[in-house]
Every structure is written in C-alpha cells, then in structure tokens.
Structure 1
C-alpha cells in the first residue's frame, strides 16, 4: 500500500456494506463538517513509523477511531448508541472484515475499545461514542513482489560443493 486513501476507502466500504442503508452517513472525519445522524465519522489519532522492514516496506503503526453519532431524539438513545458502538467493534473483531480487503498490507486490529465521546462541544442534540483501535500498516512496495513462480522446495549445500556440478550434494531444507 502506498496511499492511505486506499485504506480509508476500504474502511468506509466495509462499514457501508456492514450497515447497509441503516446509517445515513459513513465518511472520513473532518472537524469542519456538519453533524448528521445516524453517522460514522472515521479518523486517526496517531501514526508512528518504524525503520524499513526486511522486505523493503515501512511499518506504520496507527490508532484509528470511528465516531458513532445519534440524535438525542432516537428512541432509547442511551442504549442504541452503545449498540451502535458494539456493532463497529464486532466488525473490527471479525477476521473476514477487519483487514479491509487489504490482507498482507494491514494487520488485524488490536486494543479495540469504545467510550463516550464529545463529537462537537458546540453541538447540542447528539449523543456520540468513540470506537478506537490500533492497526499496523505496511507502506511501500515489497522487494519480494516479482513475476514468476515461487519455489516450493528450498535446498542447501556447503561451499565449495555448490552450483550445477554439485546438484546431488544439496539437501532439502523445506518443502
């Protein structure tokens, strides 16, 4: 993965498919946007990067959040907002969904939690909970991505008995 917009798009698509048409707005969080309900606003609190990995990619640790917003006019809003947050937590805990169709580029989420949140201190009439999680991303291209058929058997020999003249001297290390 070279672009975080791909990850954002996949997250939004996965949440959109899960909630089908039950949620009016599922989008990337922007502090200047108007509030809608029901809604999920997706964002990130923190990004940290490690040194380049063995395969040439960079490991980016990220902390994500999904703000769940309901109008206080929603019947049983105090229970419904917790159920809403729980639904997102279930998606994050679902192995078939939680890598956002980017397996190999995104780790499984960890430290999944939710809590009441202040969505916008100036907005009255809304209840909000924040679901947060940590997820690692592999950024860049792997040096191991190439064309051809990967080997199925790994062989080993000791110098100087190496190369084609010594093919019978090789031992099977892995199948």
Structure 2
C-alpha cells in the first residue's frame, strides 16, 4: 500500500523541485512562509484548492481530488523589459511543470492557466504572472492494509475437490504470478 499523501510535505517537495529547476530566482518559497522582504525574482507557491474528483474514486476510503497549485512569478518593476521577462519566466515555469509530478507520488500536472496576476494591490512595485496547474491525488489512508503475503503462484481446482483436504488436487497455472 502506498503511503498516505502528506500535503505539507508535498508542497515542500514542489518548492524544492522548482528551486532546483530555477536557480537564478532569489526566492522560491511557499506562500505561507513568513518573510519581511521579498527578494526578486521570486516564485511564490501555494496549494489553492482540493477539487473533488468523484469520477476517479479508487473505492479505498481515500478522497479523490485534483490538488490545484498556483505559483506567482514576481519580478521587480525595474527589471529591464520586465513585461517580456516575466512572460518568459511564466512560460518556462509552465513548461517545467507540464506533465511533471514534481517529485510527489500523485498524477502528472495539467497546466490550467498562465496569465498576469493584477489583483494584488500590495504588489505595485512588481510585475506578477500566475501559473496554475492541478495534480490528481487520493488523500487520506486506504481501507486496505497490506500486511499479508503477496501470492507468487496461481493454483486452480474444480469443486468439490477444493480446500485444505484437497491440496494435492490443485494444478499450478501459467508459472509465477
């Protein structure tokens, strides 16, 4: 059985993966981290939604969902050709994320949006673009506990010659499982 997905650890892994992929960015951090200043260029990452995905229910007691993640590319307004550079950075981030699992045991990313983020009044000294993507995931622990022995051989027999009293009547089928 796979380990239950830890969303906090997943966010940390995404941040670390993006930091490694974009070493020229001075800040690559989760949005919930406290900071007094923001060194730019920066990528600020947040998990924005757990969208229910009932059509993908694995019937294991886990919550099937799309984990939506947003990353904001932040460049200072004094960056030469800032509009062009922030667009290029957003495109590069979208390309890096596209179909990538980013080091986490969930589905490959589907990029949903790459667009300017002009709704942050406190960011008037910056040019900001938002990249949004989603990963399919099953949240929580599974009902199934894998503490048994996995069979390595398939044995068959016909009723009524079944059960422990008829072990010698079983036939091995098709080699190892």
TM-score category, normalised to shorter length: 0.7 to 0.9
Offset of 1:50 from its aligned partner?
A: 5.2
Offset of 1:121 from its aligned partner?
A: 1.2
**137-146 vs 165-174, greater mean Cα deviation:** 165-174
Partner residue, 1:78: 83
Secondary structure, in 3 states, of the residue corresponding to 1:99?
coil
Larger-gyration structure (1/2): 2
Structure 1 residues 63 and 124 mapped into 2: Cα distance closer, same or farther (>3 Å)?
Answer: same
**79-88 vs 163-172, greater mean Cα deviation:** 163-172
User: How many residues end up aligned between the 2 structures?
Assistant: 169
Unaligned runs of 5+ in 2: none
Distance of 2:153 and 2:45 partners within structure 1: 44
Q: Does 1:63 align with 2:63?
A: no
Offset of 1:74 from its aligned partner?
A: 1.0
Distance of 2:157 and 2:70 partners within structure 1: 51
Offset of 1:56 from its aligned partner?
A: 3.5
Structure 1 residues 72 and 142 mapped into 2: Cα distance closer, same or farther (>3 Å)?
Answer: same
Distance of 1:154 and 1:29 partners within structure 2: 52
Deviation per residue, 1:135-175 (Å, 9 max, x gap): 12222233455356533455555654433415525655994
Deviation per residue, 1:89-122 (Å, 9 max, x gap): 122125xxx223222xx11111443011126213
CA contact (8 A) 2:155 2:173 kept: yes
Partner residue, 1:100: 102
Partner residue, 1:114: 114
TM-score (norm: length of structure 2): 0.76
1:42 aligned residue (36, 45, 69): 45
Secondary structure, in 3 states, of the residue corresponding to 2:102?
coil
Structure 1 residues 4 and 121 mapped into 2: Cα distance closer, same or farther (>3 Å)?
Answer: same
1:16 aligned residue (19, 31, 36): 19
TM-score (norm: length of structure 1): 0.77
